[in-house]
Amino acid sequence: MMDFGAILPALPVLLEGMRTTLELMLPAVLGGVLLGTLLAMMRLARNRLAAALAATYVNYFRSIPLLLVITWFYFAVPFVLREITGEDTPVGAFASCLAAFVLFEAAYFCEIVRAGIQSVPKGQMNAALALGMRYGQCMRLVVLPQALRKMAPLLLQQSIILFQDTSLVYTVGLMDFLNAARSQGDIIGRPHEFLLVAGLVYFIISFAASQLVRRLQTRSAT
C-alpha cells in the first residue's frame, strides 16, 4: 500500500536536488542560446568556411545522444587534459555536465535562431545597410529584436526539453532532483512513492511552461 508520509521529512534533500537541476539548466540555456546565436550567424554568413564549420558542429551534435556527450566530458576530458598537460586535471561532475549541456543544446538553439533570423524580411537588413550600419549592428539592432519575438516560444520549448534532460546526470552521480528522489526512496524503502512524486513535479513544471509556450505562440501569431 502506498505511503507518502516519508516525502515530507525528505523535502530538504529534494529541494537541494531541484536547486542543482535549476543551477544546471539556467546557465546551460543562457550559454546555449549565446553559442547558438553565434553559430546561427556563422551559418548565415557569406564566408563558406565559417558556414561549413558551423553546419558541421550542428549536424554532429544533433546526431549523437546527449548521454554520450555527458559521459564523454566526465570520463574522457580529464584523460585528454592529462595527455596535453602531463598532470591530472580533475573535472567535476557539475562542470562536465554543464559544459556538455551548453555545447549540445547550442546545436538546437542554433537552428531555432537561424529560422528566426530567416523569418525577418530581407528588406529590413538591406534598409539598415543602406543607412550605413555595419552587418553586426544590423543583426543586433534590427534583425535579432524582430526575430526574438518569433523565436521565443521555440526557445522556451527547447528549455523545457533541457529541464527534463537534466535527469541524465545520474550517470555521473550528480545529485539532481530525480536522483535525489530515487536515492531517498531507496534509503527509506519507498521508491515507488518518491518516483511518483518526482514525476508529478516534472509534469507540473513542464506543463505550466508548455502553457506559457502556447500563449507566446498565440501572441506571436497575431
Q: Tell me, what's the pLDDT at 4?
A: 78
Q: Tell me, what's the pLDDT at 215?
A: 85
Q: Tell me, what's the pLDDT at 121?
A: 82
Name all domains of the chain by residue range, CATH numbers in brackets: 22-170 (1.10.3720.10)
Q: Tell me, what's the pLDDT at 221?
A: 64
SS3 63: coil
The amino acid at residue 85 is T
SS3 content of the chain, % helix, strand, coil (to 5): 85, 0, 15
| Other Cβ atoms within 10 Å of 88 Cβ, number | 9
Q: Tell me, what's the pLDDT at 220?
A: 65
The span from the CA of 186 to the CA of 180, in Å, is: 10
Q: Tell me, what's the pLDDT at 137?
A: 77
Return all residues near 170 (Cβ < 8 A) that are at least 6 apart: 176, 178, 179, 182
Q: Tell me, what's the pLDDT at 105?
A: 96
Q: Tell me, what's the pLDDT at 88?
A: 66
Return all residues near 205 (Cβ < 8 A) that are at least 6 apart: 163
pLDDT tens digits for the chain (222 residues)? 677 788 888 899 999 999 999 999 999 999 999 999 999 989 988 889 999 999 999 999 999 999 999 998 888 877 777 777 767 666 788 988 999 999 999 999 999 999 988 888 887 777 877 877 887 777 778 888 888 888 888 899 999 999 999 999 988 889 999 999 999 998 888 888 899 999 999 999 999 999 988 887 777 666
Give the CA count within 13 Å in the CB-facing half-sphere of 154. Answer: 16
Task: Name the residue among 104, 219, 61 with its Cα closest to residue 152.
Answer: 219
Return all residues near 185 (Cβ < 8 A) that are at least 6 apart: 191, 192, 193, 194, 195
Q: Tell me, what's the pLDDT at 53?
A: 95
